[in-house]
Amino acid sequence: MRTETLQIPTADGTADAFAAHPGDGGRHPGVLMYMDAFGIRPVLREMARELAGHGYFVLVPNVFHRTGPAPVVRLPEHIGEKDRDELISRLMPLINEHTAERTLSDADAYLDFLTARPEVAPGPVGVTGYCFGGLLAMRTAAAHPGRVAAVAAFHAPVAADGPGLFTPVTARVHLGHAEGDLTPQDLDALGRDLDAAGVDHTSEIYPGTVHGFTMADTDAYDAAGLQRHWDRLLPLLAATLTDG
C-alpha cells in the first residue's frame, strides 16, 4: 500500500489531497472520494486506505482548499456532541460557499488529475462521498456522465438540488441514508425522482443509524452501518469499474 499527499491544480488555486493505492506498479480503477464536512483527517485516510486495499487508486481532495490546507479547523481526536455544534458553526459558512459552480469547477480538475495518474487504469471512475460530500459526488456524476460509472453517497443530502440533478446521471448509484435523516416517505419520494430520471440505483435507510454513521471518530459512528456501507460500495465498484 502506498499513500501520498498530492497537489491538484484548480481554477482557484491548488487543492491538497490524500491518495492511497496498491503501489504494485500496476494500473487500477480510479475512485474520487469526497470528504464529509469535518474534512481530511485520520479516519478518512483510513477509509481511503481500506478502499485502496481492494485494488483502487483513491483520491481524497480537500474541497475547502480555498480556505487553506487540511485541516481547515482544529479537530479533536474524537468529535463528541459537545464539539459538533461549535465545529459545524465554523464549517457551515464554508459549506454554504461551496456552490454548485465551485463543485463543478473543482470536479473538472479532480477528474482530470485522477485520470492522468500513471497508476490509474483507463476508463470511467467511481465517485463516493459522505455527508455533504455525497451531494458533491452526485453533482460530479451529473456533470460528467461519460466519465463516472458509479456513485455512492452516504448520509448525504443528495436531494438538495432538486430532482433535476438526477436527469443527466448515467452512473449506477447507491444511496445509504441514516435513519435519523430520512423518513420512509422521504425515501419513497426520492426513489420516484430517481426512477423518473432513469437512474439505475439502490437507495435504502440503514437501520438504527444517525447522520455521520460511517465516521469512527464521531459519536454518530455505527459499526454495523459502516460495514453495510462497505457491503454496498465494494460490489458497486467491482461491477462497474475495470482495470482497463
Instruction: Report DSSP state, residue 71.
Output: P
Contact 8, 60 (CB under 8 A): no
Could you give phi then psi for residue 6, rounded to 5 degrees?
A: -120, 165
Handedness of CA 34, 137, 104, 23 (dihedral sign): positive
CA atoms within 13 A on the CB side of 138: 26
Q: Which of 28, 36, 106, 131 is catalytic?
A: 131
Whether 186 is catalytic is no
The verdict on whether 83 is a catalytic residue reads no
d(CA 159, CA 190): 7
From CA 124, how far away is CA 188, in angstroms rounded? Answer: 30
Burial environment of residue 196 by CB neighbours within 10 A (0 to 12, 13 to 18, 19 or more): exposed
Residue 106 among the catalytic residues: no
End-to-end CA distance of the chain: 20
117: Cα within 13 Å, side-chain hemisphere: 30
CB 115 within 8 A of CB 30: yes
Strands 13-21 and 30-34 turn out to be: unpaired
Give the active site residue among 155, 174, 177, 211: 211
**Active-site residue, selected from the candidate residues 181, 193, 217, 222:** 181
Rounded CA-CA distance 72/185 in Å is 37
Residues with a catalytic annotation lie at 131, 181, 211
